[in-house]
Amino acid sequence: MRPFAYVSAPDVDTAVRAIAEQPGAKLLGGGTNLVDLMRQDVERPTTVVDISSVPLTGVDELPDGGLRIGALVRNSHLAAHPLVRTRFPVLAQALLSGASGQLRNMATVGGNLLQRTRCLYFVDGAAACNKREPGSGCDAIGGFHRGNAVLGTSEHCVATHPSDMAVALAALDAVVEAQSVRGTRRIPLVELHRLPGDTPHLETVLDADELITAVEVPASAVAATSRYRKVRDRASFAFALVSVAAALDVEDGAVSAVRVALGGVAPKPWRAYEAERVLTGAPATEESFRAAAEAELADASGLPGNDFKIELARRTIVATLRQLRVEGGAA
């Protein structure tokens, strides 16, 4: 690991000033991604601004029944929160399906959103990777890309965003609040991450000196009947091949409200607007679920090693909606 200057920030103001003043600075939350990548020489901050003891650790109820979640809330604490478990079970399930018990105790909400891809070549200094080194090429496309994306990719990068939590937040219309020395702004979670295009090294719309302070999840009746379903190579402690966050309300046999988002298949948490459009008002049947899944994956394109994900995603969408219809939500 390269040497760096260490700054411990007691509050947000100190932290945002420190990252504004030091162009090579990085924020340190739980460290479970940043420390790992610094050790592998992928991240090379000259200054590390430690925000792990900044008191943005509240999970507060908003007047309308939504939630305001501090950026430093640990993943395990958020998953165990009674309001999350009862009103937004998809979020609790997504968090609990990520990483391990130890890592969830360390990982913060802000760090989880901004974790980097698990593409094998991104962490391999000997490989070509446009994300790590712009213009160097992409060794995943002709290489081992079983875990890579099938939606929203470009010829320059086919990496996925690995977060489970973010997929649930995308389905829940969450809003991210970010602060810098210039002030505070709010960004819909579905607009936080960018698609790679020809600049895969630019991953979010945040500026380098912005700090995520909170995530707000608006009140949602349909969210009470929600689930997260994760398909992976092992039963536990593995990243998603495909995951589905979904919420479903049915009235008189027809879909009255629905939310769907996909993980493991795209460079960002993928809100399945097309599937939702097909489903809304349609009979809550297997045929509609399949039609919605087909519509969402219509533009998907895989590589030889990962095109199985396209059908897997369709089937996982159908299975999740069926489970919501038959068994209800995870609460």
Partner 1 sequence: MVEVQLRVNGTAHRLELDPRVSLLDALREHLGLTGTKKGCNQGACGACTVLVDGERITACLALAVQYGGREITTIEGVAHPLQQAFVRTDGFQCGYCTSGQICSALGMLAEVEAGAPSAVTEHLAEPAVALTDAEIRERMSGNLCRCGAYNGITDAIRETAGVPS
Ligand X SMILES: Cc1cc2nc3c(=O)[nH]c(=O)nc-3n(C[C@H](O)[C@H](O)[C@H](O)COP(=O)(O)OP(=O)(O)OC[C@H]3O[C@@H](n4cnc5c(N)ncnc54)[C@H](O)[C@@H]3O)c2cc1C
Binding site for ligand X (CB under 6 A): 26-34, 36, 71, 98-99, 103, 106-108, 110-112, 114-115, 162-165, 211-212, 239
- At a CB cut-off of 8 Å and minimum separation 6, what does 212 contact? 71, 109, 110, 113, 114, 176, 177, 178, 206
Q: How far apart are CA 102 and CA 16, in angstroms?
A: 28
Q: Rule CB under 6 A: say whether 329 interacts with ligand SF4.
A: no
Residue 91 vs 176, nearer CB to partner 1: 91
Beta carbon nearer to ligand X, 226 or 288: 226
Whose CA is closest to 289, among 314, 253, 264, 252?
Answer: 314
- Residue 104's region, left for phi above 0, alpha for psi from -120 to 50, else beta, is alpha
Nearest residue to 149 via CA among 96, 188, 190, 195? 195
Bridge partners (DSSP) of residue 247 are: 226, 259
Name which of ligand SF4, ligand X, partner 1, none residue 117 binds, using a CB cut-off of 5 to 8 Å depending on partner kind.
ligand SF4
C-alpha 201/C-alpha 125 separation (Å) is 15
Q: Which does 130 bind (CB under 5 to 8 A by kind): ligand X, partner 1, ligand SF4, none?
A: ligand SF4
How far is Cα 309 from Cα 264, in angstroms, rounded to an integer?
A: 9
Nearer to ligand X, 50 or 294 (CB): 50
Binding to ligand SF4 in span 200-219, by CB under 6 A: 200
User: Contacts with ligand SF4 in 136-175 (CB under 6 A)?
Assistant: 138-140, 148, 157-159
Asked if 136 interacts with partner 1 (CB under 8 A), we say no
111 contact, one of partner 1, ligand X, ligand SF4, none, CB 5-8 Å limit per kind? ligand X
In single-letter form, the type of residue at position 144 comes to F
Considering only 131, 193, 309, 314, the residue that binds ligand SF4 (CB under 6 A) is 131
Using CB under 6 A, pick the residue from 32, 33, 130, 243 that binds ligand SF4: 130
What is the C-alpha separation between 118 and 233, in angstroms, rounded? 15
Contact flags string 250-289 toward ligand SF4, x per CB under 6 A: ----------------------------------------
* Contact call for residue 129 and ligand SF4 (CB under 6 A): yes
Binders in 75-114 for partner 1, by CB under 8 A:
76, 79-80, 82, 85-86, 89, 92-93, 96-97, 99-103, 105-106
**Residue 167: both structure tokens together:** 């997929």
Q: What contacts 70, CB < 8 A, 6 or more positions away? A: 55, 56, 57, 58, 59, 109, 213, 214
User: Is residue 237 within a helix (H) or strand (E), and if so which, with residue range?
Assistant: none
Q: Residue 203 corresponds to which tokens in the numbers above? A: 């991953």
57 within 8 A of 213, measured Cβ to Cβ:
no
Residues facing 108 on adjacent strands: 74
Which residues of this protein are in contact with ligand SF4, per CB under 6 A?
A: 117, 119, 121-122, 129-131, 138-140, 148, 157-159, 200
Which residues of this protein are in contact with partner 1, per CB under 8 A?
A: 1, 3-6, 8, 28, 30-32, 35-36, 39, 48, 50, 52-53, 76, 79-80, 82, 85-86, 89, 92-93, 96-97, 99-103, 105-106, 230, 235-237, 330-331
